[in-house]
């Protein structure tokens, strides 16, 4: 015989008893929010609690109050276990979801780390290219300034040559005055483009000055004859826009006795060709000012005196040496530029 049947037999001859509170509360517990939520997460536990509740109600219907009390308590415990089980199920689900999120985030982090490494590598490559361009830009700037310095010197030489050809009537050439002013306004260092503009202006002034001279038709012949005469005399003349450049012999410490003799011989040849002016070009061994370079060696005075005696128009110009023009010893070099009227 089961416990329910025994309880029913025991209560058969007794008066009806009131319904136990636990059985009455089962409906309230069943309709609670906690159970309604829990049965979705733990349906099997909910079915077990429902089965025990039905058995308690059946016992109460049969008049077995004691059995209904016991079965109602078991049903109440089942509902409580349902709520706890549902909480455990939800917690396990959250843990599983968190683990999945952790794996997903870990994978994303790995991708982001790899992307970050690629970006860092690209940044390093760009920085290297930028540094190379900066170094290349600095080198190009140095070359540009060196060429600008050479063009500035050529412009000075051309303007001095134009001034010698126009002496003593300098005021009649506003173009020359403007070119000299632009030449003096050049900054240091100067760009190649700007120095080239001023050089072209000075060259144009020299060309216009030559065209204005009365003996311009005979100038090409005279220049060619002087160039031939110098070559035959053993000199190594070089033709330039301003005229003919001749290098003077010079000792390791500057002008020597051979320099004086060379000036005399050169002047003797050039003086037989009319219309030429002379510029003594001094290339110092280092960056000296024009006055300092002239004062450095007293024999410059003797050279200038010889040239001024043989040439009606004469000037002195200091020219900074280029690396490819300096001698192996780095000593001072002297040149005479015979300004052609051509």
Question: Whole-angstrom Cα distance, residue 68 to residue 74?
Answer: 10
Residue 338 gets which letter from DSSP? E
pLDDT number for residue 245 = 93
Q: What is the pLDDT along the chain (342 residues), one digit of tens a residue?
A: 454 555 445 544 455 567 787 887 888 888 888 888 888 888 888 888 888 888 888 887 888 888 878 888 888 898 888 889 888 988 998 999 999 988 988 888 888 888 888 888 888 888 887 777 666 666 777 788 888 888 898 899 888 888 888 776 655 678 888 888 888 898 888 888 989 999 998 998 888 888 876 554 555 677 888 889 899 888 999 988 888 999 988 766 667 788 888 888 888 888 787 778 889 888 876 655 555 555 555 556 777 777 777 787 888 877 766 544 444 445 678 889 998 886
Q: How far is CA 6 from the centre of its chain?
A: 99
In angstroms, the Cα distances linking 172 to 160, 205, 275, 308, 315 are: 16, 12, 20, 24, 20
pLDDT number for residue 328 = 44
pLDDT number for residue 118 = 86
Q: Which of 272, 16, 262 is nearest to 280 (CA)?
A: 262
State the DSSP H helix or E strand holding residue 104, giving kind and residue range, or none if neither.
helix 65-166
pLDDT number for residue 314 = 81
Could you tell me the CATH superfamily of domain 216-342?
Answer: OmpA-like domain (3.30.1330.60)
pLDDT number for residue 1 = 45
pLDDT number for residue 196 = 92
Extents of the domains making up the chain: 216-342
Tokens representing residue 190 in the block: 């100067």
Per DSSP, the chain holds a count of helices (H) and strands (E) of: 11, 5
State the DSSP H helix or E strand holding residue 68, giving kind and residue range, or none if neither.
helix 65-166
**SS3 letters across 199-262:** HHHHHHHHHHHHHHCCCHHHHHHHHHHHHHHHHHCCCCCEECCCEEEEEECCECCECCHHHHHH
Give the helix, strand, coil percentages of the chain, each rounded to 5: 65, 10, 25
Indicate the burial class of 162 (C-beta count within 10 angstroms; 0-12, 13-18, 19 or more).
buried
**Residue at token pair 């609690």:** 49
Per-residue pLDDT tens digits for 135-171: 666 677 778 888 888 889 889 988 888 888 877 665 5
Tokens representing residue 53 in the block: 């509740």
The pTM score is 0.56
pLDDT number for residue 207 = 86
Question: Whole-angstrom Cα distance, residue 137 to residue 172?
Answer: 44
Question: Whole-angstrom Cα distance, residue 20 to residue 24?
Answer: 7
pLDDT number for residue 200 = 92
CB of 337 closer than 8 Å to CB of 279: yes
Q: Which of 313, 321, 241 is nearest to 281 (CA)?
A: 321
């Amino acid at each position: 015989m089961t416990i329910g049947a025994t309880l029913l037999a025991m209560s058969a001859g007794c008066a009806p008893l009131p319904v136990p509170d636990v059985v009455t509360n089962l409906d309230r517990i069943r309709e609670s929010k906690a159970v309604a939520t829990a049965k979705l997460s733990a349906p099997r536990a909910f079915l077990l609690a429902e089965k025990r509740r039905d058995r308690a109600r059946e016992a109460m219907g049969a008049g077995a109050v004691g059995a209904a009390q016991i079965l109602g308590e078991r049903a109440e415990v089942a509902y409580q276990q349902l709520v706890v089980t549902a909480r455990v199920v939800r917690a396990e689900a959250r843990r599983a979801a968190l683990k999945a999120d952790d794996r997903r985030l870990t994978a994303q982090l790995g991708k982001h780390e790899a992307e970050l490494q690629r970006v860092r590598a690209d940044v390093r490559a760009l920085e290297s290219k930028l540094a190379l361009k900066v170094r290349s830009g600095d080198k190009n700037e140095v070359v540009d300034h060196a060429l600008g310095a050479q063009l500035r010197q050529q412009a000075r030489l051309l303007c001095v040559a134009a001034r010698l050809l126009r002496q003593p009537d300098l005021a009649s050439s506003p173009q020359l005055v403007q070119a000299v002013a632009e030449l003096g306004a050049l900054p240091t260092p100067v760009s190649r483009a700007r120095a080239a503009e001023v050089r072209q202006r000075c060259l144009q002034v020299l060309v216009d000055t030559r065209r204005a001279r009365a003996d311009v038709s005979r100038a090409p012949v005279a220049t060619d004859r002087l160039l031939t005469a110098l070559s035959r005399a053993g000199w190594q003349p070089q033709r330039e826009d301003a005229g003919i450049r001749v290098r003077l012999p010079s000792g390791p410490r500057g002008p020597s006795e051979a320099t004086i003799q060379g000036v005399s011989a050169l002047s003797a040849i050039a003086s037989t060709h009319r219309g030429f002016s002379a510029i003594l070009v001094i290339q110092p061994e280092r960056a000296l000012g024009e006055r300092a370079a002239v004062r450095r060696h007293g024999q410059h005075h003797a050279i200038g005196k010889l040239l001024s005696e043989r040439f009606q128009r004469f000037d002195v110009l200091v020219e900074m040496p280029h690396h490819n023009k300096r001698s192996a010893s780095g000593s001072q070099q002297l040149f005479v530029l015979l300004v052609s009227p051509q």
